């Protein structure tokens, strides 16, 4: 039997003393020069570059953070070669002791949802991930196959509640009977979290909540006391460490904070110009700086013991 994902994520967070996770979003035009393929139109070469870049990022951040979050779209963009690279990246992250949260935002009905769950959830699954992001638009019955699989596999789910983009208001902020759609989704997530609680307070069903709306973050934190929040949008998407403070409980737990581009492409940042010839050192420094910011401005400092 595998332990509950929520417990595993909390242990990893305590071990690394930070809630920071690193998003793996490779882009061909932002790779360090020496990792760019000669022919970026050749999908196999580009997939190999994405694999190498992601694995080298993993090597740098593995001692520092509890988890990585590969963005499936950037690998899927390269066709089957990209998907083969993605599998190698997941394996490499796990071999370095990292939890892997696959950001694929899947969702479908009945047996199709079950197929996605079987694809991604658990170390024995074909993609071998620890957790997966999923989309609730199709309704609660379409989440059930994911939840069943997650419970069996010791895996986790992060259900989209409130996303960080401006247009997220169109559906998510609609108000019905005095309550927003995202709040209704949060109520559903809280029920599932409570039903899947591990040894600690949290369940294996968490929520994705964008960092660009701090007041909504506070509302959603209190609405889902048993759900771990996955908060993307720190760094390149505009969120600051202070913006995510409301995501944590009193022990500095209950949230993981994702930063992708600001860390993995740190070598482009003038702040890290001193590492111009060593992009991995820039990644390391950006990771350490972000960890320090989170510890300075949020309850994540409690993890320092």
CA dist 92 and 113 (Å) reads: 26
User: Shortest approach of its own copies to residue 213 CB, angstroms?
Assistant: 13
User: Shortest approach of its own copies to residue 72 CB, angstroms?
Assistant: 9
Residue list 250-269, contact with its own copies (CB under 8 A): none
- In the set 4, 17, 172, 298, which binds its own copies (CB under 8 A)? 172
CA dist 157 and 151 (Å) reads: 10
DSSP strands (E only) in the chain: 20-24, 67-70, 99-106, 131-134, 156-162, 175-176, 179-180, 205-209, 229-231, 255-259
**What are the tokens at 285?**
């420094």
Q: Is 151 a catalytic residue?
A: no
| Burial of residue 193, with CB atoms counted within 10 A of its CB: 0-12 exposed, 13-18 middle, 19 or more buried | buried
User: Shortest approach of its own copies to residue 190 CB, angstroms?
Assistant: 14
- Contact between 26 and 261 (Cβ < 8 Å): no
User: Shortest approach of its own copies to residue 7 CB, angstroms?
Assistant: 27
| Number of alpha carbons in the 13 Å side-chain half-sphere of residue 162 | 28
- In the set 40, 110, 238, 274, which binds its own copies (CB under 8 A)? 110
**What are the tokens at 184?**
């209704």
CA dist 216 and 305 (Å) reads: 29
Q: What's the chain's length in residues?
A: 305
Mark the segment that binds its own copies (CB under 8 A) among 49-57, 116-124, 217-225, 283-291.
116-124
Query: Is residue 217 near its own copies by the rule CB under 8 A?
Result: no
Whole-number Cα distances in Å, 135 to 21, 103, 202: 21, 11, 20
Q: Please, which residue, 34 or 176, has the CB nearer to its own copies?
A: 176
Interaction mask 40-79, its own copies, x per CB under 8 A: ---x---------------------------x-xx-xxxx
DSSP assignments along 132-196, one per residue:
EEE--TT-GGGTHHHHHHHHHHT-EEEEEEE-SSGGGHHHHT-EETTEEHHHHHHHHHHHHHHHT
- In the set 188, 205, 245, 256, which binds its own copies (CB under 8 A)? 188
Angle at 230 between CA 227 and CA 232, to 5 degrees: 155
Query: Is residue 216 near its own copies by the rule CB under 8 A?
Result: no
Catalytic residue among 105, 118, 184, 197: 105
Q: Please, which residue, 99 or 113, has the CB nearer to its own copies?
A: 113
Mark the segment that binds its own copies (CB under 8 A) among 48-56, 169-177, 239-247, 251-259.
169-177
- In the set 33, 175, 215, 250, which binds its own copies (CB under 8 A)? 175
Q: Please, which residue, 205 or 291, has the CB nearer to its own copies?
A: 205
User: Shortest approach of its own copies to residue 76 CB, angstroms?
Assistant: 5
Enzyme catalytic residues: 105
Q: Which residues in this chain contact its own copies in the complex, by CB under 8 A?
A: 25, 27, 43, 71, 73-74, 76-80, 82-84, 86-87, 105-113, 115-116, 118-119, 126-127, 135-142, 160, 163-172, 174-176, 181, 184-185, 188
């Amino acid at each position: 039997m595998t332990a509950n994902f929520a417990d595993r994520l909390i242990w990893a967070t305590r071990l690394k003393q930070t809630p920071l996770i690193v998003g793996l979003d490779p882009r061909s035009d932002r790779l360090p020069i020496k990792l760019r393929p000669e022919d970026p139109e050749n999908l196999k070469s580009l997939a190999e570059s994405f694999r190498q870049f992601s694995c080298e990022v993993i090597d740098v951040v593995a001692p520092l953070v509890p988890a990585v979050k590969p963005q499936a779209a950037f690998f899927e963009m390269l066709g089957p070669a990209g998907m083969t690279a993605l599998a190698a990246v997941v394996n490499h992250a796990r071999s370095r002791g990292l939890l892997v949260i696959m950001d694929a935002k899947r969702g479908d009905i009945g047996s199709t949802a079950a197929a996605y769950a079987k694809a991604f959830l658990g170390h024995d699954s074909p993609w071998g991930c620890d957790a997966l992001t999923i989309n609730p638009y199709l309704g609660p019955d379409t989440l059930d196959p994911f939840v069943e699989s997650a419970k069996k596999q010791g895996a986790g789910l992060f259900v989209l509640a409130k996303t960080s983009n401006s247009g997220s208001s169109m559906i998510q902020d609609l108000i019905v009977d005095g309550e927003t759609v995202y709040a209704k989704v949060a109520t559903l997530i809280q029920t599932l979290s409570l039903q899947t609680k591990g040894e600690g307070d949290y369940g294996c069903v968490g929520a994705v909540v964008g960092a660009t709306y701090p007041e909504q973050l506070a509302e959603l934190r209190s609405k889902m006391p048993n759900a771990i929040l996955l908060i993307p949008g720190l760094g390149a998407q505009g969120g600051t460490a202070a913006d995510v403070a409301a995501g944590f409980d009193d022990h500095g737990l209950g949230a993981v904070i994702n930063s992708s581009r600001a860390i993995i492409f740190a070598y482009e940042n003038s702040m890290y110009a001193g590492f111009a010839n060593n992009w991995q050192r820039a990644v390391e420094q950006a990771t350490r700086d972000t960890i320090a910011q989170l510890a300075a401005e949020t309850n994540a400092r409690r993890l320092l013991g």
